[in-house]
Amino acid sequence: MKIQNLKLPGAKLISPTVFHDERGYFLESHQQVRYKDLGIDETFVQDNHSFSKEGVIRGMHFQAGQAKLVRVASGKIYDVIVDIRPDSPTFGKWEGVILGDADHQQLYIPEGFAHGFCVLSPEAHVLYKISSYYNKEIEQGFRFDDPEVGIDWPIKMAIVSERDRANPYFYELRWS
């Protein structure tokens, strides 16, 4: 297993060891002790599965006190994180990585980040672990196309839910 620190502090790109043979392949998608040894000391309490079609953008979403471990079971996505920690030197900055079923990479997103993705393949199944239970009362978001954040999405025409289109702009949120 290899781990790469991303530009935004705390975020990590994980390349698991994949064992191939004539039957196909096997990999450990998560192993608590091994991940802790790599500096990811989270207790994940919920697994989520998202299915989306090409051109879909989901985001930007966040929930206080929640870390995520994201991977793609099938398809390919452009996965984006935004630092929303007000005291961070990278507050408001974003970073994007491509995740797909070909290389099985995972994105670890620590607490204090917003998350979103767009689908680059005809379909994508995205699996993610979260460190606190989903709570619609405290979930928040901001617009995926916020010019202040300036995410460079690699698609021209986006399919976005009405809920995500109704999110406020980044500067309209209270960051204290």
The pLDDT profile of the chain, 176 residues, written as one tens digit per residue, is: 899 999 999 999 999 888 989 999 898 888 888 888 888 999 999 999 999 999 999 999 999 999 999 999 999 999 999 999 999 999 999 999 999 999 999 999 999 999 999 999 999 999 999 999 999 888 999 999 999 999 999 998 899 999 999 999 999 998 76
Active site members: 61, 128
**pTM of the entire predicted model:** 0.94
Residue 33: the pLDDT is 83
Q: Where are the beta strands (DSSP E) in 89-165?
A: 94-100, 106-109, 113-119, 123-130, 139-141
Residue 176: the pLDDT is 62
Q: What is d(CA 20, CA 24) in angstroms, rounded to the nearest whole number? A: 6
Residue 21: the pLDDT is 93
Whether the CA torsion 34, 130, 101, 23 is positive or negative: it is positive
Is 121 within 8 Å of 53 (Cβ atoms)? no
Residue 104: the pLDDT is 96
Residue 74: the pLDDT is 98
Q: What is d(CA 173, CA 53) in angstroms, rounded to the nearest whole number? A: 29
Task: For the chain, list the domains and their CATH numbers.
Answer: 2-172 (2.60.120.10)
